């Protein structure tokens, strides 16, 4: 159990276009979902925290108008990279925290999405 999926796994887009990445909790309901960005040889950087039905909370330095997060249901969150630039190329990973009692300290990660902006 506790599987998180991401779609797509890889995407290549042209500079100036927008890309949407989906994060789904497949067999549990997630109270909170997180979006991370991972740079080569660097740790994961938290971009934003989203709770179902409310606005996402962005970390300092993350542009909310560029990285749009929608958490429409307890099993789906989306990250849209708008007007993508080559510097947005990265590995984006989502995670989800279960609402089930006893599992709230566990965070389950998706497999990641490799975004390349040309």
Cβ 100 to another protein shortest distance, Å? 11
Q: What's the rounded Cα separation, in Å, for the pair 99 and 40? A: 32
Q: Looking at beta carbons only, is 14 or 53 nearer to another protein? A: 53
Cβ 74 to another protein shortest distance, Å? 15
Q: What's the rounded Cα separation, in Å, for the pair 84 and 96? A: 25
The region, left, alpha or beta by phi > 0 then psi within -120 to 50, assigned to residue 61 is left
The contact pattern for another protein, residues 39-58, with x = CB under 8 A and - = no contact, is --xxxx-x--x---------
Cβ 47 to another protein shortest distance, Å? 9
Contacts to another protein from residues 85-104, by CB under 8 A: 93, 95, 97, 104
Cβ 2 to another protein shortest distance, Å? 9
Cα angle: 19, vertex 22, 23; to 5 degrees: 145
Q: What's the rounded Cα separation, in Å, for the pair 29 and 118? A: 36
Q: Looking at beta carbons only, is 36 or 67 nearer to another protein? A: 36
Burial of 1 (0-12, 13-18, 19+ CB in 10 A): exposed
Query: Which residues would be at the binding site for another protein (CB under 8 A)?
Result: 4, 6, 31-32, 34, 36, 41-44, 46, 49, 93, 95, 97, 104-112, 114
């Amino acid at each position: 159990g506790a599987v998180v999926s991401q779609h797509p796994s890889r995407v290549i887009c042209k500079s100036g276009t927008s890309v949407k990445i989906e994060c789904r909790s497949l067999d549990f309901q997630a109270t909170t979902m997180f979006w991370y960005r991972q740079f080569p040889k660097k740790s994961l950087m938290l971009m934003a925290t989203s709770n179902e039905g409310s606005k996402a909370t962005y970390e300092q330095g993350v542009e909310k108008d560029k990285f749009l997060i929608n958490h429409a249901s307890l099993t789906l969150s989306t990250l849209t990279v708008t007007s993508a630039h080559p510097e947005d190329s990265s590995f984006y990973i989502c995670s989800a925290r279960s609402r089930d009692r006893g599992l709230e300290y566990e965070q389950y990660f998706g497999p990641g999405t490799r975004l390349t902006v040309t």
